[in-house]
Amino acid sequence: VQLQASGGGLVQTGGSLRLSCAASGRSFSYYTVGWFRQAPGKEREFVATISRVGRVTSYADSVKGRFTISRDNAKNTAWLQMNSLKPEDTAVYYCAARNSVTGEIDRRAMNYGHWGQGTLVTVSS
């Protein structure tokens, strides 16, 4: 599966953005999807993940209650709705896909074999 992330941009503190992850290739429903981010000078970190049919989600504590991950397999797309953005949310955001027989979600970047190119989110104070 090939992934393309989009929707990043510059937003003020408290604003919102919606990131999209468009998939092409093998059936999107075979994959769990994760969003990760990497701020300048920092390691890539987990943001959110969603199971293959969207029934199960998990979030990093730092974004819980502000971000929402969703997907529509018929559209081969996943989204990350980001509300109440803070300057510390500034990072390059990546979507990733994991082909799992069990379909369980996973917060570990090392277990995702397919990555999009990243989209930059900048939150100004």
- Cα 1 from Cα 110, distance rounded (Å): 17
- Cα 47 from Cα 69, distance rounded (Å): 9
pLDDT tens for 65-124 read: 999 999 999 999 999 999 999 999 999 999 999 997 777 899 999 999 999 999 999 999
- Cα 98 from Cα 32, distance rounded (Å): 5
Q: Which of 87, 90, 80 is nearest to 19 (CA)?
A: 80
The mean predicted confidence, pLDDT, of the chain is 95
